[in-house]
Amino acid sequence: EDQVTQSPEALRLQEGESSSLNCSYTVSGLRGLFWYRQDPGKGPEFLFTLYSAGEEKEKERLKATLTKKESFLHITAPKPEDSATYLCAVQVPGSEKLVFGKGMKLTVNP
């Protein structure tokens, strides 16, 4: 069964304290790995798509990387407005379906 595991489940940082979120997956023949941000009571907002090992993408203070078994979302010098739940998802081979991890709640204190 395809599995996506995110760790840690929750993370508290001080403003400016950099860290990384992990997403490991067991899908064979990965077609794409997606990162989303979700604010409370709202739908997920697309951040990045990664397709192959070694690929990296950046947006403001966020940088996503991909290896053959996991992806990292690096947050550099976070601000309180980066507080949200971050979701990782992988695309199942032969399908348009996405399999999601349980998410990681990030809190950045001022």
Partner 1 sequence: DGGITQSPKYLFRKEGQNVTLSCEQNLNHDAMYWYRQDPGQGLRLIYYSQIVNDFQKGDIAEGYSVSREKKESFPLTVTSAQKNPTAFYLCASSIGQGTYGYTFGSGTRLTVV
| Interface residue list for partner 1 (CB under 8 A) | 31-32, 34, 36, 41-46, 49, 51, 87, 89, 91, 96-98, 100-103
How far is the first Cα of the chain from the last one, in angstroms, to the nearest whole number?
41
Residue number with CB closer to partner 1 (44 or 78): 44
Q: How far is the CB of 7 from partner 1 (least distance, A)?
A: 13
> CB under 8 Å to 94, separation ≥6 — which residues?
none
Residue number with CB closer to partner 1 (89 or 108): 89
Hey, what's the torsion of the CAs at 53, 11, 78, 6, to 10 degrees? 20
Q: How many residues does the chain have?
A: 110
Q: How far is the CB of 13 from partner 1 (least distance, A)?
A: 21
Residue number with CB closer to partner 1 (73 or 87): 87
Q: How far is the CB of 87 from partner 1 (least distance, A)?
A: 7
Measured over the CA atoms of residue 44, residue 66, residue 103 and residue 31, the dihedral's sign is: positive
